Amino acid sequence: MDKRQFIKTIALTSALLPLTNSASANAARKNTSEQRLPVALNKGDTVALICPSSAISDSLEIQVAREVLEAFGFNVKPGKYLSARRGNFAGADIERASDINDAFADKNIKAIICLAGGSGAARLLPLLNYKTIRNNPKALLGFSDITALHSAINAQTGLITFHGPNATGSWDSFNTDQFQRLFFQRELMRYENVRNNDGDLAQRQNRTAIIRGGKAHGELIGGNMSVFTALAGSPYLPDFSGKILFLEDVGEAPYRIDRMLSTLKLMGALDKIAGFIFGACVNCNPGDGYGSLTLEEIFNDYIKPLNIPAYRGAMIGHIKQQFIVPIGGMVEMDADAVSFRLVDQVFQFA
């Protein structure tokens, strides 16, 4: 995934968007302080399978994704343009956006599951019908590039969405169990890394580290770091005041992590948050050259001076077993226990 090229594409696309879209988005953002809960899910419900980002090259992956959702007991309605393609995208912008708008407008659909990430979701943000989304609250699940949708929908409507495996991702026993507990049993989840020693005397996988101890309470926001920070200056980032910010990434060298945290610092976002959780950063190693700050040093520079509860290493991101977390959901984090938990329900009941 080449996020540097993706960010350049976002900048070019934003410059070409009609100003009227930005004006209406800004107006909508002023009226979204109210949290909106998606309708609860049950087996037998119909869910939409859409592809808002990169195209899938092998139709077999689409079939497997559909079988995963059917194994949960859902009826699956594929988006009209699920198999479309334009360049590396799963269809033209208007096609991918219409699949999202149609899924929210369809009263028979109870949730929307994203097929995969990649790039391109941010191009759709001015094309989404936020009034329809606000009036038809339903769960949206996905991660990576889907962060752009999560952030915009949260900022524009207040709707809780879910950062977790895409339909083509890993659905092993860990992720399947999480999905069932969260969506079917409506459990107030506690998110704590599982221990896996692999026969070693000390745990090496899923390690966490405290940046600063303490507890914090607030709504959860965030997602993929490079996609999230690429929205800076747009009306598609939520208010940071009193929020718990979580971030994760893949294939980003430490100097780019530093640059993105610098962006959040310079825009005043970091000074507003109540807590910070960093997930996995897969293949985030220094490149060749004169050397690099470590991620630990970068967090000590930007996060530790905030004097808020913070830790890193949560099972969030581009890993096989990952937490399914509600963006916009109210959580309490305990940095000393390197965990966080839901304190309010994240679904509405008819």
234 and 169 within one domain: no
Query: Residues 274, 246: contact at Cβ < 8 Å?
Result: no
171 and 292 within one domain: no
**Domain containing residue 167: CATH number:** 3.40.50.10740
Q: What residue numbers bound the domain in which 325 lies?
A: 191-342
User: What gap in Å lies between CA 96 and CA 89, rounded to an integer?
Assistant: 9
The mean-pLDDT minimum among 11-20, 45-54, 130-139 falls in: 11-20
Query: Residues 237, 267: contact at Cβ < 8 Å?
Result: no
* pTM assigned to the model: 0.90
pLDDT at 200: 75
Among 184, 214, 249, the domain-final residue is 184
Mean pLDDT of the 67-91 span: 96
User: What gap in Å lies between CA 98 and CA 105, rounded to an integer?
Assistant: 10
pLDDT band at residue 350, thresholds of 50, 70 and 90? low
207 and 322 within one domain: yes
Q: Are strands 244-250 and 330-334 parallel, antiparallel or unpaired?
A: unpaired
Q: How many structural domains comprise the chain?
A: 2
**What dihedral do alpha carbons 264, 267, 273, 277 form, nearest 10°?**
0
256 and 159 within one domain: no
pLDDT at 16: 37
pLDDT digits (tens, 9 = 90+) for 262-304: 999 999 999 999 999 999 999 998 877 678 899 999 999 999 9
258 and 125 within one domain: no
Beta-carbon count within 10 A of 283 CB = 10
176 occurs within a structural domain: yes
pLDDT digits (tens, 9 = 90+) for 189-217: 999 999 876 767 777 788 999 999 999 99
pLDDT digits (tens, 9 = 90+) for 30-53: 444 588 999 999 999 999 999 999
Residues designated as active site: 144, 248, 318
Query: Residues 80, 99: contact at Cβ < 8 Å?
Result: yes
118 and 163 within one domain: yes
pLDDT digits (tens, 9 = 90+) for 328-344: 999 999 999 999 999 99
Among 184, 219, 252, the domain-final residue is 184
